[in-house]
Amino acid sequence: MSRPATTPAKAAVLFVCTGNICRSPTAEAVFRAHVKRAGLASAIAIDSAGTHDYQLGQPPDLRAVARARLRGYDLGARCARQFAFEDFDRFGWILAMDRFNLGHLETLRPRGFRGYLGLLLDFAPEVGVPEVPDPYGGETKDFDRVLDLVEDAAEGLLEAVRKTLRDARR
């Protein structure tokens, strides 16, 4: 599990859900694949975390792993971790999956944080929903829905991060 430090030439993106076993690792894997295809893997660090300690140390949900694998994404051998206050220093982009988790992060946000803290689906307004729903208690179709939404947001997020990288080089 990486704990990247941001520099002017590097961006760092953190995806956050409740337990870090379904939505945020899925978003991490999808975004990592988009970044790799764009040739920016060395310029953008990517991680995920949960706001709560319910599943600390657990691997991603097997249903999330299986559905992601069918689309060519690898959730990898990662373990759930809890969001740490220091993540505000490590990541310039912190993206919550829903308003509940965003609210939790906003209560922790230090005054000096100058990065982006918001909802992932802000980068996919065309989907018509603001939140990535939690599939944990659901069915296979709910994990597919998470993938659909995250894929829709990944390209918009990547373009926004690319822009900050270009601006940092000027």
Residue 72 CA, distance from chain mean position: 17
* Annotated catalytic residue, options 17, 32, 78, 152: 17
DSSP 98-135: SHHHHHHHHHH--TT--SEEEEGGGG-GGGS-SS----
Q: What pLDDT is recorded for position 149?
A: 98
* Annotated catalytic residue, options 23, 63, 67, 81: 23
Residue 61 is among the residues annotated as catalytic for this protein: no
Residue 17 is among the residues annotated as catalytic for this protein: yes
Q: What pLDDT is recorded for position 8?
A: 42
Q: Name, in order, each residue with C-beta under 8 angstroms of 159's C-beta and a sequence gap of 6 or more.
A: none
State the pTM of this model. 0.92
From first to last of its 170 residues, the chain has per-residue pLDDT tens of 333 444 444 999 999 999 999 999 999 999 999 999 999 999 999 999 999 988 888 889 999 999 999 999 999 788 999 999 999 999 999 999 999 999 999 999 999 999 999 999 999 999 999 999 999 999 999 999 999 999 999 999 999 999 999 888 77
Residue 53 is among the residues annotated as catalytic for this protein: no
Q: What pLDDT is recorded for position 9?
A: 46
Distances (CA, A) of 79 to 19, 22, 27, 42: 11, 11, 15, 22
Q: Domains of the chain (ranges plus CATH)?
A: 11-169 (3.40.50.2300)
Amino acid letter at 149? L
* Annotated catalytic residue, options 61, 87, 134, 152: 134
Q: In this structure, are residues 74 and 25 in contact, taking their beta carbons and an 8 Å threshold?
A: no
Alpha carbons 61 and 29: distance in angstroms, whole number:
13
DSSP-based helix, strand, coil % in the chain, nearest 5: 45, 15, 40
User: What's the maximum distance between 2 C-alpha atoms anywhere in the chain?
Assistant: 47
3-state secondary structure of 44: strand
